Structure 1
Amino acid sequence: MVALWLPQQARATHIVGGELDLQHQSGSQYLLTLNLYFDDVNGSAGALDASLMAGIFDKANNLRMADIPLPRVSDTFVSYTNPACATGSLRTRKLVYQSSIALLPGTFNSVAGYYVAVERCCRNLAITNIVDPGAAAQAFYLEFPAVVRNGQPFVDSTPRIFPPLGDYACLGQTFYYDFGGQDPDGDSLAYDMVTPLNGHASSMVPAPAVAAPAPYAPVVWTTGLGPQNQIPGSPALGIHPRTGRLTVRPNRLGLFVFGVRCAEYRRGVKIGETRRDFQLYVLSCPQNAQPTVRVASGAGNAFYQPGRDTLRIVSDVARCIRIRTTDPDPNTRLTITTRPVNFTGTTPVFTSSSVGTVRGPGAPDTLVTTLCFPNCADTGGRVFLLDIIVADEGCSLPRRDTLRLAFTAAPSLNTGPVLTSSFPPAPTAAPVVVTVARGDVFTATLAGTDRERNALVLSAAGQNFDLGSAGMTFAAQNGAGQASATFRWAPDCSLAAPATRLVRFRLTETEPCQPIPRELLVQFRVVPTADTVAFELPNIITPNNDGRNDFFSMPDLPTDFCDARFATVRIFSRWGQQVYQSDERGFRWPGAGAAGLYYYLVTYTNGRKLKGWLEVAP
């Protein structure tokens, strides 16, 4: 720490600004971070501290709770919004100092809460809106609540506020920057402008060994300036209380320091705050004209009139609008974006390029792009507002023009698809009934069509059973405006007759906002095969060894299936005497050696019988 007292560092001016951050990790562990922004152009390398000391104090009585060493863990440069706008007079480093700390419930339980402070001197000599800036210090300041409330853990991480500012403002031109942050706990955030804190550090003691307790003296504004007029202009520098958006149109050149406070609220009660000091250069920049944006409201040369017209999106043929942008400056690259104002969810999309150059060699004077509203866009009868923004690539920040489009939208009409099939007609309020014998194969076809050419999907699902496990297959060919499918079922041996299976066939649309499904419910019933079947076949044999009809066989017998399997064949004379028997399906009977009339009987293992007569010719 001795090096901090060297005269060389006492004279160093380098602070651009910074803020403290406290994030919960787990249990009682928190990560304390100091982000210090360092002027790399005017700052002295000797002021790059290897570590700084943070003090934690009780807000109720300023009692010192702990002193926390914060070693430097990173050193990076802050980027410009547009790197092409970089200027040699502005280059900022981000120095990060960090340490993990334990906030124990038995210690940090004060109802008033606590604050953290780090003190360091000095600010830039070139600052124009405070008195004696080269001797002005900064007190980095953060408030946080007790870690226990009503006997229960109370976890809070401070809001991680706003990205650092690497840009400069141009005299007489509107400057804007989003300092809005995010809160890890979902607490509400509120922003306001505050006077930066000077604290107790000085040019003689630039880095005190420990931070002193509050109160911390503020910096002294130059004549005519104050918290609500930190950077003079029309308007002067201000911040939106809810979004954290900074805006100023400066009317004075110089380097200006400013302070912003972000307070966090939980259930309407303030629980903490964090502050950031920063500085903004106001420079004299080349003149940059503002681009313009217009929306074509229909055929011809008519354009949408903001504040007077309301665009009505009511049909498929009128769901797109043409946006025309231009810029008075030559060789200007324009970018068009959109931003919902009073709605969330589905937003229109660009169907042609939203980036282009105008007024350049070979380039048109106007950039034209198309913005289309989705078929499902529906405002529910309300008027939605959409900002259409065109921005150039001017320095320090793009010049913009915004057109606020008021519109209403209703989803596209949908008549629904048509489902047809080879199934029998469906009875009223009842499923189609299809009977299938075991051993048979049943097939059916289905087809879907849609007049609007929406994408169609055919599907089939068994009620309380899987199609594949029951021997059913369903193959579909889906597409835009049409779909087809084939259903096939061969009842397997696990189904006893009678048995039923209920299958729901469904045709759905995947594109419309209000899809209309079509369904067909089919009940499949398994039925037994008849016990006795008259079996017709050539019934004359001539066993004379001439190679024609020399023996009796039955190659076309019903195939074996499940428990219905071939058992035996028996042949009887006309007087009932058995003359032949075989248990082979491929039997061949050459006759009994005597011409005459004979009878056969085929039996299956399930009791099924096939019988007929046969003549043996001489």
Structure 2
Amino acid sequence: MLLYRYTLLCLLFLLLIPRAQATHIVGGELDLQYQSGNQYRLTLTLYFDAINGSAGALDNEATASIFERGTNRRIRDVELPLITNTFVPYTNVACTIGSLSTRRLVYSSLIEMTPGQYGAPNGYYVAVERCCRNGVINNIVLPGDAGQTYYLEFPAVVRNGQAFRNSSPRIFPPLSDYACINELFYFDFGGQDADRDSLVYEMATPLNGHANTLLPRPPQAQPAPYREITWQQGLSVNNQMPGAPTLSIGRNTGRLTVRPTRMGLFVFAVKCSEYRNGVKIGEVRRDFQLLVINCPRNQTPQLTVRPPGNPRATYREGRDTLRLRAGQNRCMRFNFTDIDPASALQLELRAINFPQNLVPAPTLRQGTVRAPGQPDTLTSEICFPDCFDSKGQVYLLDVIVADNGCSLPRRDTVRVAFTAEAPPNEVPTVSLVNGPSALPVQARVGQMLEFDVLGLDVDLDAVTLELSGRGFNAAQVGAQLVSVSNAPGRTVARFRWQVDCRAVERGLHEFLILAAANPCQQRQTSSTLLLPVQVNYSNAAPRLATTFPPGSANPADPPVVVRMPLGGVYEATLDGTDSDLDGLTLTAAGTKSDLAAMGMSMSTSGSPGTATGKFRWEATCANASDEPMDVVFTLTDNTCRPVPQQRLVRFEVERPTAPEFVPPNVFTPNNDGRNDYFEMPSLPPDFCEQRFAAITIFSRWGNKVYHSVERTFRWNGKDVPEGVYYYLVEYTDGRSFKGTVTVIP
């Protein structure tokens, strides 16, 4: 029912518009390029006949329709505005003819393609339909009534749950060239693909589609399939125009070739398929047309190749192989001419099986022959450098001379087979100039080793000397080669190694010194020079003597104890010696706090193999609060594998000797001169913060009867009745003594 309504609307529309008479379409193609995110740019390039086309047929926009492949479900229609209108250039402007001029119209717009909308596994296609083709086309039926469908296939934007980005291949832009009857015509339609997909080309039948003279520009494209044009009798997709050979395209190159045998205007189509990992993912088609005319007769230029050293001989293609030998003439001479008057000739050199950048520049690239003041034969020459070497392989070089004939240049090509030999080269040598008397070299830590190394090359090539280590990195142990002098074929460098502790672990170091020369950019090295160095190392433990009391040198044993009374000063001397004369370091460190906090200090001095320390301690109350005060004295030899010596000393502040504390428990204040007072001469002595604070005496009812803060107090017991009294003695550190004393008159 929907199809019926659409058809009825189209018929009504056709009845309301006049029959289009314009014959203007030359060809064109669609292009889809990924931009970023979900953005793509869709472009229609339409080629328009600027000579026969009607200006009214130049559209300001085009409508592209996108469908799902397989189901033909319409996804959306896209309006493409006209963004450029230019002329297609000729290969050679001098070949321009008045009957052939082509405009290039570009319609383009950004579109968004999300995975949700463009995720069908079969992919999609986009089409634009337009009528009409040139009415004078000679190889299809009713060309003036034939429309054109621009067609492109592209994959889904997601595959296996991952984003699948793809840009369609871009076919090389066409030129406004024409072909000459019975002359070979060639043209490069080979494209480029931004994704580096594989491209395959083939001839295709142009699509007609649904557009016609009554509806030249449908409001939207219809889904596939699309009608094809009808070939004239005797022609087909594989024989699209009369020719010997007929029109064909290189499957992998995209190069069009034809030798037309009939004049006229011929339409053709090319299909380019893109493959990724062997799977076809897209397709783009181009329609175009080729004009064949009767051209003025143009003769092919003539090229002669002369072998090296023999300017009169002629190289015979397919039979001769030129040999470029070392020390001999290595130049090829080319003579080229053309019997046509005022023929401008161009020389091109194309390497076939070796890098193009190795081809020398010719002395002459272009010139004109058979013109006033010009020679009839042009001469050019290339000379291969001495270092050029084909390594026994036969190299192929195409020497091509082309004229400026219309519509395309005529060419004469000679494929030159040749070999080239580089000059002989001797391997450089390496030796020690002031080498050691015996190997391996005996070295010790701290020693500087220096030897001069000589690199020689009899070919006078530049020589470089390189240092490495067998099983180790020479630079990482501090060894190096320092350049001394350089001259052609002669290099002197100095081996320098300040042996340090990094060399102790390995012991034997085998240094490799080689000479390298680079004639003709081909590195050659000498036989390796082996320089073995044995690093000898031994170490005796240093000795530490002190004036501390005797004790064990093992830190795990109980420490030596030094005691001093308050205010006392203790001094000690430490002497370190080392039989290896290594530098010595003498240190002292507290196990709980630093020396200064403990009232201690130590100064040191020394020379190679000796170290002296002066230690001093002043005993203070501050020290007493830090006890125990343990100090570790360490003597370390400054060598690769030190054997430190240690002493652990404990410092203590002497407490004063206290008599036995036996307080009296009775006294008789009767003034008989005996036991008249209550006093405590045997109280614990004062020490730093542990000092006598006060004594308080209470009655048995708790009344204070006496108080004193003097350590030498004397209570006379007067004014108190006979009986038992209680005393409390307090110290500043919180200690206290309690007891009773009886007063007897």
Name the TM-score, length of structure 1 as normaliser: 0.73
Q: How far apart, in 1, do the equivalents of 2:113 and 2:241 lie?
A: 39
Structure 2 partner of 1:35: 45
Q: How far apart, in 2, do the equivalents of 1:455 and 1:173 lie?
A: 57
- After superposition, residues 53-132 of structure 1 pair within 5 angstroms as 53-132=63-142
- After superposition, residues 188-587 of structure 1 pair within 5 angstroms as 188-297=198-307, 299-300=309-310, 301-312=312-323, 315=326, 317=328, 319-341=330-352, 347-360=358-371, 361-363=373-375, 365-370=377-382, 372=384, 375=387, 377-378=389-390, 383-408=394-419, 413-419=424-430, 422-424=433-435, 433=441, 444=452, 446-451=454-459, 453-458=460-465, 464=473, 466=475, 474-475=482-483, 481-487=488-494, 505-512=513-520, 514-518=522-526, 520=529, 522=531
Given residue 424 of structure 1, which amino acid in structure 2 is its aligned partner?
Answer: G
Q: CA distance change for structure 1 residues 374 and 76 in 2, over 3 Å: closer, same or farther?
A: farther
Given residue 484 of structure 1, which amino acid in structure 2 is its aligned partner?
Answer: T
Kept in 2, the 8 Å contact 1:422–1:446? The answer is yes
Q: How far apart, in 2, do the equivalents of 1:426 and 1:332 lie?
A: 79
Structure 2 partner of 1:180: 190
Q: How far apart, in 2, do the equivalents of 1:496 and 1:188 lie?
A: 58
Structure 1 partner of 2:588: none
Superposed displacement of residue 607, structure 1: 7.4
Q: How far apart, in 1, do the equivalents of 2:71 and 2:313 lie?
A: 69
Q: CA distance change for structure 1 residues 65 and 425 in 2, over 3 Å: closer, same or farther?
A: same
Superposed displacement of residue 289, structure 1: 1.2
Superposed displacement of residue 287, structure 1: 2.3
Q: How far apart, in 2, do the equivalents of 1:477 and 1:249 lie?
A: 68
Superposed displacement of residue 189, structure 1: 2.0
- Residue 160 (1) aligns with residue 167 (2): no
Give the secondary structure class of the aligned counterpart of 2:413.
strand
Give the secondary structure class of the aligned counterpart of 1:173.
coil
Kept in 2, the 8 Å contact 1:56–1:115? The answer is yes
Given residue 357 of structure 1, which amino acid in structure 2 is its aligned partner?
Answer: T
Q: How far apart, in 1, do the equivalents of 2:133 and 2:478 lie?
A: 82
Given residue 270 of structure 2, which amino acid in structure 1 is its aligned partner?
Answer: V
Q: CA distance change for structure 1 residues 171 and 16 in 2, over 3 Å: closer, same or farther?
A: same
Question: Which is further off, 282-291 or 14-23?
Answer: 282-291
Unmatched segments (≥5 aa) in structure 1 = 529-562, 565-603, 609-618
Question: Which is further off, 493-502 or 18-27?
Answer: 493-502
Structure 2 partner of 1:144: 154
Superposed displacement of residue 490, structure 1: 9.2
Kept in 2, the 8 Å contact 1:129–1:231? The answer is yes
Superposed displacement of residue 476, structure 1: 6.0
Give the secondary structure class of the aligned counterpart of 1:512.
helix
Give the secondary structure class of the aligned counterpart of 2:328.
helix
Superposed displacement of residue 33, structure 1: 1.6
Q: How far apart, in 1, do the equivalents of 2:199 and 2:313 lie?
A: 43
Write the deviation string for residues 28-84 of structure 1: whole angstroms up to 9, x where unpaired. 433222111222333333333222111112231322122122122333332222233
- Bigger Cα Rg: 2
Give the secondary structure class of the aligned counterpart of 2:56.
helix
Structure 1 partner of 2:648: none
Q: CA distance change for structure 1 residues 78 and 511 in 2, over 3 Å: closer, same or farther?
A: farther
Q: How far apart, in 1, do the equivalents of 2:453 and 2:100 lie?
A: 74
Give the secondary structure class of the aligned counterpart of 1:325.
strand
Q: CA distance change for structure 1 residues 221 and 46 in 2, over 3 Å: closer, same or farther?
A: same
Question: Which is further off, 4-13 or 117-126?
Answer: 4-13
Q: How far apart, in 1, do the equivalents of 2:160 and 2:302 lie?
A: 57
Q: How far apart, in 2, do the equivalents of 1:164 and 1:460 lie?
A: 60
Q: How far apart, in 1, do the equivalents of 2:534 and 2:239 lie?
A: 86
Kept in 2, the 8 Å contact 1:416–1:515? The answer is no
Q: How far apart, in 1, do the equivalents of 2:368 and 2:486 lie?
A: 43
Superposed displacement of residue 466, structure 1: 4.7
Give the secondary structure class of the aligned counterpart of 2:524.
coil
Write the deviation string for residues 505-543 of structure 1: whole angstroms up to 9, x where unpaired. 543223435421235455679999xxxxxxxxxxxxxxx
Query: What is the CA RMSD across the aligned residues, in angstroms?
Result: 4.0
